[in-house]
A and B are shown apart, each in its own frame.
Chain A
């Protein structure tokens, strides 16, 4: 299977690198040969996608193959056995293209044809599959493909040969392009690329016809007088494409080529057939959606929220309900493109950005901002937010690789440990809680109160006055030490305060502001102590709203942010902190408005160690990992969960919490694909955790009370050889935190997957929740599995409708018990049913199947991840008006197959990130 990737062909498959500077890509390099699949070395100025082949035999044997840049995608079919980089090449997209590759298995086909999985034949087929057809001489296989533009095209076919394949004549639009194509071969293997030639094509649908004309004398019939045809892919290349047109406002859908030409009148019969019965007819209006009332396109355009719903419902096949007759694929896509076209039209006309309420720094950001402003050696107070406490700094994106072996302090993993203060007398304020489906950086939820004011007053003073401060800060000499004789103090202070204030407030400093703080200094300096007076002044600056809030000036129309404001947004997005001098300088001289310089800043900042905040602040919250801290698997039933026999305080669980975060950090540092978060072939584990994932009894032979060292532990990068492991969905941490003490909770797990992986959090549960036993042993004693019990409790249609969407996502993980260990059966011996269907479309049998289904539709996860990150970057909830921006981001992310820096870059240059809403309209 191929991700559609038009660029590839232009460079020619097989080339190793392309000197192409993608706008948002930190410098990365190709992997070097090494015994570890994970190692990469930086090669300056060559921009390449890091990727890694998975567990092919070659890799395990230590052979490594690699290519640079995105071109990899195009060559994988040739350079690798198919399936090598499995999660990178699993992406499936509809085969509607104008220029590029069209997978055979995605061509429309009729009778006597099917798609066939070719992995068993040793790989070599693009996407591991081809289109297989059989017929008698004289028969023909017919199919269609589309091109977007009229023009001259070069066409070629990659086919399959084997002993029972026939000889064919190939026609396009009736014109014979090639005859006598003999697919006979002694082995089942792909053919070379067969050139069909060049021809003019009009925009729109084209006919491809393969006529079976005969057979090679050596060929054997597949069935009596029947021979086979196999199409791996069709390659369509536009010759002399017209220059790229000026970028117009993109359509609001993520299938940019999907036509939405069908008129409402044309498609209304489909609505009548499938929708009206529940949504309008005979007064029946389910879910408050009355479609019968909407009689024209304009009626729909007047209801943008409904259009969004309709888009979602069609995208995720939520309607009609499973037990009703379903529209066919063709009808589905026609309806979907019509409504997404409507939505796009509405958004182009009405688009207006939701306001961003000025937001206060949260506890994590405040620490970072004070640390960076005063150039401190480290944090100002212990932050439980930082799940990982490193013994030695290990996070360095500029190195291009996360170390194989990372030594972490385990004490810090347990928030129960009383932490030593870093600066004597500095007491943090309470953590700000996360929004229901978002992050703890939202202006509307970050309030201010007298208690906080007291905290900020105490904090700013106690930081600068703590006995350790002078040694801890690099500004002691340049800011706080008395300069010259007393008469010059006031002038010196002004000289020092002007740049300091600019940095602290992230704004050009007006003289009134400077004077306000300088006069405070003058008053305090009367006591004769320069340093003390400066400390009081700095304490005041740290308590000012100009420091504590992310401020953006009001404006009367929607327009780009001022450079300083953009610098602030960017640094809080990537570093959870204030801009550094470089970024501030670019704001000061206005060059930040230059797209190229802006891109370079983004790339530079991602290479800075401060980008670790994306793991500490974003990833932790996105995954809702804090839940693990208080997970309490039953002490007796899950005794191995506890690290110290007889002691509930020490949990293995707190070790597993680090695993998904280190995976995330490796993706950042090595600039890998975010799809590895779904399915990765490596992970970071301690030796004790490895025993957790291994079959059999963990801690075997460790009957001593202290099963592992609770002071420091080493996380090793290990290959993950079983696809049921790897990624964040099936790691022990998330599985455990979404379970209850005595059993798994598939609905909680399902809701977590829906919210975190697909950004489709289920609505709040209804009031009449039926009860289920808290102990699965009791359920199983009745002869029922948990799944059967849960289904039996869906008492009415309204339960079923919702649970159909959530539950399969949780049941898929039923093979993992309440602490994330694999089990083939329930303890009682009852079989586990982990099969289901993803969004009514992708059937799967188990957790691996669920991952495959996600990988096969990468845009679902890529969209969700981008939305989460965009919402984090903006500090607000996303709204309908953000959809076009998200579509833009998604397009880039899909193109880059989820490369992390591209995701971040696309968000940083997205419309809502660069613009400020109209303050007046927002009221």
Chain B
């Protein structure tokens, strides 16, 4: 078990740490008109990705339904188990002949059908978080927030290993990995206003380009145009909340991420995510606790006294010692998740509910058994009640062969997005 590093975390996120105790109404007083009118707090969706699957024998509980027994790896969920739901037997599409790990991360949330392959050969299309964000983002300053606790300073792997969120085919929603930048992006309002005049000009310039470009290039230009429009909206909406943020007296995290221990990095990013969700700056977020594969040795302080290679270990789990180490690492990730869940549950969100009650915070991986790159029976836990849509504290075992896209459909529906089909979905997973 990792040592608690609360002290150093607090020093890093000084201001942010303090706000966690602010009562709901004070923070939310400036929330948009629509939200004020709505009787209920909004529902938020967030994803917590763990790379390289989990050791199977210690993940699966032996029983189902309400009051199931937490498996060894799920033990760290004990303090919050009443608000968590375990899903099993959910499968993902896999395309043979392309990299198993690139697909695991990049295609995890994808809405592509098995016959829809991106140029890189992966079943990769708009991811479920972005499908939801297209709707939920109408009400918030930021459409969505993508974070990665990627600690590696080499560039060993491609873009497919470091991102789980995609706007569409070949159009990545690049994740941020520097907490200071995340903070600035969310709260440095005054920077934004100066950009207005520039944005107008470049938008017109970009539009005038359109006729010069071939079709492939036009798609690229659309990425640019869409980004400009999004930023314009952000500026407008963030500016409106300027006074509110000033009151919060937030201070940016100052410790460089390169100097943070694993758990510290994940918790700081998680805190920023929670801050964004509770201030209603966004309703959709995702965090990669670590990028997919990336065979670079990594120090996990407090857990191992030497750098480990997570990916390499998954292929060595036939050795009992390696497997036990891997199980400790899996528990470490669940523990990090569980701590964030507890923090969300400590945030009041109106109507006597907590932020967690009004969220779906999903833990998962794109592989189940990484030793064999297996994509069936993926690990999935959803923390939160989704405003009552989920009846938690259960282990829901779907019939064998159920696509995970069925769960994406169910979550989209909770978020007010109706889709008859997402990817290879065949129906919906019952949440209540």
Contact = CB atoms under 8 A, between A and B. Distances in A.
B170 A554 contact: no
A736 to B, nearest CB: 12
Given A433-B159, A544-B205, A443 B220 contact: yes
A517 B204 CA distance: 10
A491 interface: no
B426 interface: no
Interface string B108-137: 000000000001000000000000000000
A553 interface: yes
A764 B103 CA distance: 12
A447 B312 CA distance: 30
Contacts of A553: 212-213
Given A431-B155, A517-B201, A454 B231 contact: yes
Given A415-B153, A922-B216, A449 B173 contact: yes
A769 B100 CA distance: 12
Interface in A623-651: 624, 626-632, 634-635
A772 B316 contact: yes
Nearest to B227: A453
B177 interface: yes
Interface string A457-472: 1101100000000000
B154 A630 contact: yes
A359 B213 CA distance: 12
Contacts of B198: 457, 460-461, 520, 536, 539-540, 543
Interface in B207-222: 208-209, 212-217, 220-221
A903 B87 CA distance: 57
A901 B178 CA distance: 41
B197 interface: yes
B249 interface: no
Interface in B158-217: 158-162, 167, 170-174, 176-178, 181, 185, 191, 194-195, 197-199, 201-202, 204-206, 208-209, 212-217
A545 B216 contact: no
Given A449-B174, A453-B230, A630 B152 contact: yes
Interface string B310-336: 001001111100100000000000000
A416 B212 contact: no
Given A357-B220, A539-B198, A632-B307, A447 B174 contact: yes
A373 B171 CA distance: 29
A740 B153 contact: no
B217 A449 contact: no
B174 A452 contact: yes
B217 A451 contact: no
A923 B167 contact: no
B157 interface: yes
Nearest to A628: B154
B352 interface: no
A764 B171 contact: no
From DSSP, what is the main secondary structure of chain A's interface residues? loop
Interface residues of A, number: 79
B185 to A, nearest CB: 7
Contacts of B316: 771-774
B66 to A, nearest CB: 35
Contacts of A517: 201
Given A415-B153, A444-B119, A771 B216 contact: no
Given A358-B217, A443-B220, A554 B197 contact: no
Nearest to A546: B205
B97 interface: yes
A698 interface: no
A434 B197 CA distance: 34
A415 B299 CA distance: 17
A756 B213 CA distance: 34
Interface in A583-636: 624, 626-632, 634-635
Interface in A553-581: 553-554
A719 interface: no
B158 A436 contact: yes
A224 to B, nearest CB: 64
Contacts of A774: 309, 312, 316, 322
Contacts of A552: 217
Contact of B201 (A516, A626, A740): A516
Contacts of B167: 449
Contacts of A741: 297, 306-307, 309
A699 interface: no
A358 B220 contact: yes
Contact of A448 (B143, B181, B223, B307): B223
B269 to A, nearest CB: 15
Point out which of A451, A516, A923 has the most chain B C-beta atoms below 10 A from its C-beta. Answer: A451
B258 A520 contact: no
B256 interface: yes
Contacts of A431: 155
B152 A740 contact: no
Contacts of A177: none
A771 B185 contact: no
Contact of B99 (A436, A523, A635): A436
Interface in A768-818: 768-774
Nearest to A539: B198
B172 to A, nearest CB: 5
A533 to B, nearest CB: 10
Contacts of B197: 520, 523-524, 536, 540
B374 interface: yes
Nearest to B176: A451
B68 interface: no
Contacts of B170: 444-445, 447
A418 B153 contact: no
A450 B185 CA distance: 11
Point out which of A430, A449, A512, A635 has the most chain B C-beta atoms below 10 A from its C-beta. Answer: A449
Interface string B364-388: 0000000111100000000000000
B228 interface: yes
Given A449-B172, A449-B174, A427 B181 contact: yes
A769 B234 CA distance: 47
A544 B167 CA distance: 22
Nearest to A553: B212
Contacts of A631: 296-297
Contacts of A447: 170-172, 174, 223
Contacts of A922: 214-216
Nearest to A512: B208
A874 to B, nearest CB: 14
Nearest to B119: A444
A540 B119 CA distance: 33
A500 interface: no
A544 B191 contact: no
A419 to B, nearest CB: 11
B99 A627 contact: no
A545 B224 CA distance: 8
Interface in B139-158: 143, 152-158
Point out which of B119, B173, B306 has the most chain A C-beta atoms below 10 A from its C-beta. Answer: B306
A549 B220 contact: yes
6 contacts: A358-B217, A552-B217, A630-B296, A631-B297, A771-B316, A774-B316
Given A436-B99, A447-B170, A453-B224, 7 more contacts: A430-B177, A449-B223, A453-B228, A551-B212, A554-B217, A630-B154, A767-B374
4 tightest A-B CB contacts, nearest first = A919-B214, A554-B214, A767-B373, A448-B223
Interface of A: 355, 357-360, 384, 415-416, 418, 427, 430-436, 440, 443-445, 447-454, 457-458, 460-461, 512-513, 516-517, 520, 523-524, 536, 539-540, 543-546, 548-549, 551-554, 624, 626-632, 634-635, 740-741, 763-764, 767-774, 919-920, 922-923
Interface of B: 97-100, 102, 119, 143, 152-162, 167, 170-174, 176-178, 181, 185, 191, 194-195, 197-199, 201-202, 204-206, 208-209, 212-217, 220-221, 223-224, 227-228, 230-231, 234, 256, 258, 296-297, 299, 306-307, 309, 312, 315-319, 322, 371-374
